[in-house]
A and B are shown apart, each in its own frame.
Chain A
Amino acid sequence: MARYLLKRILMMIVTLWIIVTLTFSLMHMIPGDPFASESDQLPEQILLNLRAKYHLDEPLPMQYLSYLKSLAMLDLGPSIKSETRGVNDMIKDGFGSSALIGMQAIAVALFFGLIFGIIAALNRNTWIDYMAMVMAVLGIAVPSFIMAPLLINYLAIKLPLFPVATLASWKHSVLPSLALAFGPLAIITRYMRTSMIEVMNQNYIRTAEAKGIPTFLIVVRHGIRNAILPVVTFLGPLVAGLLTGTFVVEKIFAVPGVGKYFVDGIFNRDYPVILGTTVFYSAILVLIIFLIDLAYMFIDPRIKLSGRGR
C-alpha cells in the first residue's frame, strides 16, 4: 500500500510537470502580446521596460526554468494585467467562493441525482421513469447560461425569494449553486439509472429476493453499492471542474470566484495567469482522481490497489 501511494504521488508530480510544460509551450505559440492594446501609444523603450519587468525579454528556456523554480516554491508569479495582485492572490481570494458554490452544487446534484436514478430504475418503464428521464434530458440539454437567467427571473425578480447576484451572504449562493447543479444532476440520474437496472438484473439480487429480504434492504445493501461505481468515476472530473469555478455561472451571478481567470487569462495573454490557473486546476484534478481511486477500494473491496500490473 505504501509503495502504491508513493508511486502514485510521483506519477502525479510527473503529470503536473508534463501539463506545465505543454501549457507553457502552447501558450507562447498563440499569436498576440500581453501588452498589445487599442491604446498603445507605447514608445519602443516603454515596451522594452515592460518586457524586462516581466522577464519576457529572456530566452524561452530561461523563462521556463525560472517558472519551474518559482512553481516549486508554490509561487505562481505576478499577473501582467493586474499590476498589484499576483496569481496567488487571485486564486486565494477567489477559490473560497468558487468552492462554496461548487460543493453545494455537487451536494445537490449527487443527492437528487442518486435518488432520481434509483427511483427511475426501480420503476422502469413506468411514468415515474419517463418523467425522471425527461428531466434528465432537459438537464443535459439546457445549458447553465439559460438556466441561470431563468432562475434569476423566476426566483429573484418575479418571486423575490433570493437576491439577483453577487455573493454577500449564504442566501446569495443558492441560485448559482442550483444553476450549476442541474447539468451534473441530470448526468448522475442517467448513470445511476442505467447501472442500477443492470445490477438489479444480476443473479445475486434474485437470490436475495428469493431469500425474502425486503426490497428496500436489497437496494441499499446490494444494489446501490454495486451500481454507484460509474457515478464515482464521473465524480472525479466533475468535482475538480466545479470546485475551480465555472466561467458562465460565476459571470452571470457575479460570484467573485476563480472561473473567469481561466478565460480572461487567455484573452489578455496574461501568461502567468494562464499557467497558474491551469496548474491549479490540474493539481486539483489529479488529486481528486487519486482520492477517487482510493474510494473505490472502500466501496468495492474486490478492487485491490497495487503498484504491480494485475
Chain B
Amino acid sequence: MKKLAAFALSVSLVVPALAGCGGSSGTATNNPGTASSTPAAAVKQEVVFNAKSEPPDLNPLTSTDTTSFWIMDHLGEGLYTKDKEGNPVLGVAKEVKLSDDKLKYTFILRDDAKWTNGEPVTAEDFAYTFMKHIDPATASTTAYLLYYIKGAEAYNKGTGKAEDVGIKALDAKTLEIELVAPTSYFDKMLATRYWHPINKKQAEADPKWAANAETYISNGAYKLVSWKHDSELVIEKNENYWNKDDVKMEKITWKMVNDATTSYQMYKSGELDFNKEMPSDILAQEKSSPDYKSVPYYGTYMYMFNVTKEPFTNKKVRRAFAMAIDRKALTEMVSQGGETPAYSMVPRGAITPTGKDFREEGGDYFKEDPAEAKKLLAEGMQEAGWSTLPEVTLMYNTDESHKKIAQALQEMLKKNLGVDVKLTNQEWKVYLDTTRQKNYQMGRMGWVGQISDPAFNLDYYLGDSPNNRTGWVNKEYDDLNMAAKVEQDPNKRMELLHKAEAVLMEEMPFIPIYHYQQNYLVKPGLEGLTYPVNAFPSARWATKK
C-alpha cells in the first residue's frame, strides 16, 4: 500500500507536466514575477491577510460588503478619516467651516492631497463622486446614506433635479455641502468608506476603472499594485499620500482562501500572518495561544418576532420568551466564539460624547428569570384568552451554526417555559423573502451597525425601515429616533437614543441573543494592528519584528 502510494505520488509529479501544456492558458499557473510566496525576511514590513473571497466591488459608490471594505479602508481617504482609536479626524479636508444654522459645511481641501497617479485631489472630484453616488442611473444600494444632503433623496428617487442637490465645488479646493437638518455626527459619517472620493477623470474615461489594479486610482495611504482575481490582491504604501509618514506597514497582501480549515492551516504553516473566522473546534484549541486575539464586533444576533401573528401579538408572551433563555450557556457552550450575552439592541463599541460606552451607560434592559418568565407567559395567555399557547415555529436560515443555536433555544424554551417549539430552516435568499412577507412567527437575524453610533442600530426597527420585518410600528419610538436625528446637543441626542432603546426593549419585538465578537490569530511579532468595532483590522500602523 505504502509502496503504491509512493509510486502514485512520484508519477503524478511527471504526468501533470504534460497535461499542463493543454490547459495552462489560464491565470495563476505562470507568474514568475511574484516571488512573494517565500516568507519575507523578518525585517520586511509586509503582511499577508486572508480576504476569504474575491472582493466583489472596490468602488466606493457601489461597494457593500465587509471584504471590499477591508481593502478600501486602506486605499482611500475621505474629507474626514479615522485615527488609531477610530475617532473622526480631518483627512483630505484641512479646514471645515460650519454655518451658524449648522446646515452648510465648507471644506477646504489640502494642497498636498494627491491621487496615486500624482494629480491633486480636487473639490470637483468630491462633488462628482457624491453626485454619482446618488445618481439614479448608478443604482447604488448605499445611496440612502447620502440622504442627509439637501435634495439628495429627491434626486435619487427621481423626483428632484441634480441642480437642487446641496453639493457644490466652489473652486478647485473648496467644497460646499448643505444638509437637510443639522447632523451632529456628520463628521463620523464622512470618515467612512462610503464617502471616499473617486477620480473623476478616470471614472469618466473607464466606467470599469475599479475592476483592475492597472486602472484603479485612490487617494489614501495605499495604492493597489496587483489584483489577480480570485487569488491574490496586493497593495503598497502610496508615496503620493500627504500623510505618508504616518503609514508604517509597507505592503499588504490579501490571499483569497475561502475554506476556514485551509486558511487556518496556511496560518500554521506561515503562509498567513493573520487568521479570522475559525470553526469552533479550532477556536477551542487556540484560545489559550498567545496568538489569540478576541475583539468585540459592533453587531447583535437576534430572533425577531412577527407581532402580527399569534402568540407574539402579546407583549408579555414576547417578554417571557426573551427571559427564558440562558444566554451565558448559549455563548459559552454552543456558539463558543467569545460573544457577549445581549440584553439590548445596541452593542458595546459606540462611544458617547462623554467618552463612555453607550452600552455601559444604558446597561441591561431585562434579566433572565425562568420563574418570572413562566408567570409572564401565563399572564399573557390569560390576557389574550388562550387556554393553550398557539403553536410556535422558530425559523432560521440554513447554516450549521444557526441550527445549533436554534436547537439550544428549543431546548431552553421547553425546559424553562414548558413550550414546545418547532424548528424549520430555509436557504438564505428564500428566508429573506419569507420573513419580508411576514410568513414566520419567530426568525433569526443579525445586524451590524455600519457606523458605530447607536442610531445605526436602532433605525433597524423604525416603522418605515425596510429591514423591520416584525410588523412592529411604534410612534413613540419613531419620534424619539427622529428627534435624536436633528438634536444638536450631542449629549441630549444620546439621551434621546437611550430613551428610544428603552421603548424598544419594553415592547420587545425581538429577542437579543448575543453581541458579536471577532476572533483572530495574529502572528507573534506583528504589532500595532488596530481593531475598528465594525470592520476588520487596519494594518496601517502595524509593524513587524
Contact surface of A with B, Cβ cutoff 8 Å:
30-33, 35-43, 45-46, 49-50, 52-53, 81-85, 89-90, 93-100, 102-104, 106-108, 111-112, 131, 135, 149, 152-153, 156-157, 160, 163-170, 173-174, 177-178, 181, 243, 251-254, 256-257, 260, 267-269
Contacts and interface: CB of A to CB of B under 8 A. Distances in A.
The interface residues of chain A, by DSSP majority, are classed as: helix
Contacts of A152: 262, 265
Contacts of A156: 265, 269
Given A82-B56, A83-B56, A164-B269, A107 B18 contact: yes
A118 to B, nearest CB: 15
Contacts of A52: 139
8 contacts: A36-B429, A46-B144, A46-B156, A83-B63, A96-B28, A157-B265, A165-B271, A177-B12
B232 A166 contact: yes
B226 interface: no
Contact of A174 (B12, B34, B229): B12
Given A46-B156, A83-B56, A166 B144 contact: no
A93 B228 CA distance: 9
Contacts of A35: 141
Contacts of B24: 96, 100
Contacts of A46: 139-141, 143-144, 156
A98 B29 CA distance: 11
Nearest to B17: A170
B463 to A, nearest CB: 13
A36 B426 CA distance: 14
Contact of A100 (B20, B156, B434): B20
The 6 closest A-B pairs by CB, nearest first: A96-B26, A32-B429, A84-B211, A256-B230, A99-B23, A104-B16
Contact of B157 (A36, A45, A96): A45
Interface residues of B, number: 79
Given A85-B211, A165-B257, A37 B432 contact: yes
Nearest to B209: A84
B15 interface: yes
Contact of A96 (B8, B23, B258, B266): B23
Most buried by A among B58, B136, B259: B259
Contacts of B25: 95-96, 99
Contacts of A256: 27-28, 228-231, 256
Nearest to A132: B4
Contact of A81 (B56, B136, B459): B56
B492 interface: no
Contact of B447 (A38, A102, A164, A169): A38
B29 A100 contact: yes
Contacts of B17: 170
A32 B398 CA distance: 14
Contacts, number: 231
A45 B158 contact: yes
B155 to A, nearest CB: 10
B144 A267 contact: no
A260 B436 CA distance: 28
A38 B468 CA distance: 11
Contacts of B1: 131, 135
B446 A31 contact: no
B22 interface: yes
Contacts of B269: 156-157, 160, 163-164
Contact of A107 (B16, B62, B467): B16
Contacts of B12: 104, 108, 174, 177-178, 181
Contact of B259 (A160, A163, A168, A251): A251
Given A104-B20, A170-B16, A256-B229, A99 B26 contact: yes
A31 to B, nearest CB: 5
Of residues A32, A42, A153, A178, which shows the largest number of chain B Cβ atoms within 10 Å of its Cβ?
Answer: A32
B261 interface: yes
Given A46-B141, A165-B257, A38 B16 contact: no
Interface of B: 1, 4, 8-9, 11-13, 15-20, 22-29, 31, 34, 37, 54, 56-59, 62-64, 136-141, 143-144, 156-158, 208, 210-211, 228-232, 255-259, 261-262, 265-266, 268-269, 271, 427-430, 432-434, 436, 445-447, 450, 459, 465-467
A156 B261 CA distance: 13
Contacts of B230: 93-94, 256-257
Given A165-B257, A170-B16, A38 B266 contact: no
Contact of B433 (A36, A53, A178): A36
Select the residue from A96, A102, A131 with max chain B CB neighbours within 10 A: A96
B232 A96 contact: no
A170 B29 CA distance: 6
A33 B433 contact: yes
A167 B139 contact: no
A97 B29 contact: yes
A103 B265 contact: no
B74 to A, nearest CB: 18
B429 A254 contact: no
Given A31-B429, A41-B467, A256-B228, A168 B22 contact: no
Contacts of A106: 19
Contact of B262 (A37, A98, A252, A269): A252
A253 to B, nearest CB: 7
A254 B256 contact: yes
A107 B13 CA distance: 11
A120 B25 CA distance: 37
Contacts of A31: 429-430, 433-434
A103 B436 contact: no
B262 A100 contact: no
Given A32-B430, A82-B57, A99-B23, A174 B37 contact: no
Contacts of B261: 149, 252
B258 A173 contact: no
A33 B271 CA distance: 38
Nearest to B37: A168
Nearest to B272: A164
Contact of A267 (B15, B208, B428): B428
Given A107-B16, A254-B258, A83 B28 contact: no
Contact of A84 (B11, B57, B256): B57
A112 B29 contact: no
Contacts of A108: 8, 11-12, 15-16
Contacts of B447: 38-39
B139 A166 contact: no
A164 B229 contact: no
Nearest to B29: A100
